[in-house]
Amino acid sequence: MKFSVLAGGVGGAKLANGLSKWLSPDDMAVIVNTGDDFEFLGFYICPDIDTVMYNLAGINNPDTGYGIKDDTFNVIKNLEKLGTESWFHIGDSDIANQIKRTMQLNAGIPLSDIIEETSKALGNTHLIFPMSNEPVRTWVVTNEGESLPFQEYFVKRHFQPEVKQILFKGSEESKLPKKAHEFMESSQLVIICPSNPYVSIDPILSVPGVREILQNKTVVAVSPLISGKTVKGPAAKIMSELGIDVSVTSIARHYQPLIKGIVIDTQDRQETEQISHCGIIPYVTDILMPDTQAQERLAGEVINFSIQLHKESAA
Ligand code: GDP
Ligand code: CA
């Protein structure tokens, strides 16, 4: 059976990597958020795509989850000395990827082709697609009325401003790259990784046509929350700022009516009944992925659970 995997950065890449250990390249492709993409020092940076690409290639920095293992930071340090902006701390090897991508984009090559080539060059056999080749930009409107491009909110301001609204500028004009569209259409199952629902998965769902495709698939989400907390990042903070109860039930409701099932942590077991009342089937297990072993173990359970749901819905 074929799986389309929707992912943002760090949380998404962990599960996507686990899934890639079980599913062959014919049976799995990752569709990645590009709402965080931005230009920095003249380079076109795709933080989430790179995180997924580096994780699947096994070259990611295991401490941060993003960036390249054992990278050096000479370029950014020297740029800082020269008085250039340096709030986005990017490593030297990582910059090589940005140079290649920016050169190819300037030559008119579509982002999805560039990613396919780069990912292959890094040793990946599973396909990784940007959610669209057209630019979609996530903006955060703060309660003080400021509008911030996502990376400025996330990296420069350390997600401190209070979020009032999240916008995906350009999404109406975007579309899935052709190969991503074909892969999604032909897959029976869709896994929504434990990425931030509001700023990593929603941008993908905002691409015209994606929700329609999902309506005909067995979709299973994995919670990014454990016991009311995010493992990393602003998901819980954003939820409370938007006036949403910080719980796995809220995550399940957020993905209604797209998902058939949701994978939640044993610490949230008490919410299973509430989730079932929404018409969503909960599956309870340990969903923390501190290492690649845990990624693989959870991925195996997610695959079995979603195949079981698929068979039940087909019966
Ligand atoms: P970003 O784009 O790098 O911010 O990453 P994502 O949106 O893909 O992932 C961020 C989310 O992943 C956060 O809400 C985290 O709680 C979640 N996350 C990170 N590590 C884990 C983990 O080991 N298990 C689960 N279930 N969620 C995780
Ligand atoms: Ca991201």
36 Cα: distance to centroid of ligand 2 (angstroms): 6
313 Cα: distance to centroid of ligand 2 (angstroms): 33
Tokens of 110: 């579509």
Cis omega (within 30 of 0) for bond into 257: yes
Q: Which residues pair with residue 166 across a beta bridge?
A: 140
- pLDDT at residue 254, as a whole number: 98
- pLDDT at residue 315, as a whole number: 78
Q: Are residues 19 and 39 in the same domain?
A: yes
Q: Are residues 130 and 227 in the same domain?
A: yes
66 Cα: distance to centroid of ligand 2 (angstroms): 10
Tokens of 106: 């300037």
Q: Are residues 58 and 186 in the same domain?
A: yes
pLDDT tens track, the chain, 315 positions: 999 999 999 999 999 999 999 999 999 999 999 999 999 989 999 999 999 999 999 999 999 989 999 999 999 999 999 999 888 899 999 999 999 999 999 999 999 999 999 999 999 999 999 999 999 999 999 999 999 999 999 988 999 999 999 999 999 999 999 999 999 999 999 999 999 999 999 999 999 999 999 999 999 999 999 999 999 999 999 999 999 999 999 999 999 999 999 999 999 999 999 999 999 999 999 999 999 999 999 999 999 999 999 999 887
Of the residues 154, 169, 184, the one at which a domain ends: 169
Q: Are residues 225 and 87 in the same domain?
A: yes
Answer yes or no: is the C-beta of 231 below 6 A from any ligand 1 atom: yes
Q: Are residues 149 and 13 in the same domain?
A: no
With 0-12 CB in 10 A as exposed, 13-18 as middle and 19+ as buried, what is 215?
Answer: exposed
Q: Are residues 73 and 86 in the same domain?
A: yes
Answer yes or no: is the C-beta of 18 below 6 A from any ligand 1 atom: no
Question: Rounded CA gap, 127 and 218, in Å?
Answer: 20
33 Cα: distance to centroid of ligand 2 (angstroms): 7
Q: Are residues 156 and 290 in the same domain?
A: no
Of the residues 118, 149, 169, the one at which a domain ends: 169
Q: Are residues 59 and 152 in the same domain?
A: no
Angstrom CA distances, 163 to 11, 110, 121, 200, 240, stand at: 21, 32, 39, 15, 9
| CATH code for the domain in which residue 201 is found | 3.40.50.10680
Q: Are residues 65 and 207 in the same domain?
A: yes
Q: Which atom of ligand 1 is nearest to the CA of 65?
A: 3
Pairing of strands 43-45, 147-149: unpaired
- pLDDT at residue 309, as a whole number: 98
Question: Rounded CA gap, 98 and 261, in Å?
Answer: 37
Q: Which atom of ligand 1 is nearest to the CA of 229?
A: 16
129 touches 30 (CB < 8 A): yes
- Give the CA-trace dihedral at 15, 195, 286, 277, to 10 degrees: -130
Q: Are residues 26 and 66 in the same domain?
A: yes
Number of structural domains found in the chain: 2
Sign of the dihedral through C-alpha 99, 105, 107, 109? positive
Q: How many residues does the chain have?
A: 315
- pLDDT at residue 86, as a whole number: 84
38 alpha carbon, closest ligand: 2
Q: Which atom of ligand 1 is nearest to the CA of 48?
A: 2
105 Cα: distance to centroid of ligand 1 (angstroms): 29
Residue whose CA is closest, atom 12 of ligand 1?
Answer: 11
211 Cα: distance to centroid of ligand 1 (angstroms): 22
Q: Which domain holds residue 165?
A: 137-169
Question: What DSSP string describes 243-285?
Answer: T---SHHHHHHHTTTT-SEEEEEGGGGGGHHHHHHTT-EEEEE
Pocket test residue of 140, 199, 200 for ligand 1, highest count of atoms within 8 A of CB: 200
Q: Are residues 155 and 120 in the same domain?
A: no
194 Cα: distance to centroid of ligand 1 (angstroms): 5
- pLDDT at residue 311, as a whole number: 96
- Give the CA-trace dihedral at 127, 223, 230, 53, to 10 degrees: 0
Helix 47-57 and helix 10-20: axis angle, to 10°?
A: 30
Nearest residue to 222 via CA among 283, 267, 297: 283
Nearest residue to 48 via CA among 101, 7, 90: 7
Answer yes or no: is the C-beta of 197 below 6 A from any ligand 1 atom: no
Q: Are residues 230 and 128 in the same domain?
A: yes
286 alpha carbon, closest ligand: 1
Question: Rounded CA gap, 93 and 38, in Å?
Answer: 18
Question: Rounded CA gap, 163 and 24, in Å?
Answer: 40
Of the residues 169, 189, 211, the one at which a domain ends: 169
Q: Which residues pair with residue 96 across a beta bridge?
A: none
- pLDDT at residue 34, as a whole number: 98
In this structure, what DSSP letter does residue 58 have?
Answer: T
65 touches 51 (CB < 8 A): yes
255 touches 297 (CB < 8 A): no
